[in-house]
Amino acid sequence: MNYTRQDYCQALRAFLELGDGIPELRQYSPALKALLQGLEDGYLRRDTLVPECACPWCGYRFDAAMAADPAYPDATPSPGDVSVCTSCAQILVFADDLTVRAAMPGEVEFTPELRRAQQAARTQRTDR
């Protein structure tokens, strides 16, 4: 059987509704929501594995990063690149070892893209 992108989106939406009521599945909701968003937007972003680390603001632990700009779905982080915590929406900077640190005052230019990434993280946080 051949499935369309819309079929996959519908299946993910149904699973997310089911998963919200099952504690063992709730932990996968953020990843599934990101996958669904990628499908709905017509692209999928590729995760890049980074050393496991924690957000210095909220303690959220992660081991992957993804490009925020759909025009560059295969972008990978480099030392000094700016990121946004998907849990608390704070601004982070990749260190030399690709762990993250808090951005220093005046270090980061608040571009429209960065503000959109923060808003997306805040929206995702309220959807959890």
Give the separation between CA 82 and CA 53, rounded to whole angstroms.
15
pTM given for the model: 0.63
Residue ranges per domain, the chain? 1-44, 46-128
Show the 3-state SS of 73-119.
CCCCCCCCCEEECCCCCCEEEECCCCCEEECCCCCCCCCHHHHHHHH
Q: Provide the residue-wise pLDDT of the chain in tens; the chain has 128 residues.
A: 566 667 777 888 888 787 667 777 777 777 777 777 767 766 555 678 899 999 999 999 988 888 777 677 678 899 999 999 988 999 999 999 999 999 998 899 888 888 888 888 888 665 54
Which of 111, 45, 124, 113 lies closest to 85 in space, CA to CA?
Answer: 124
CA 55 to chain centre: 13
Strand partners, 62: 53
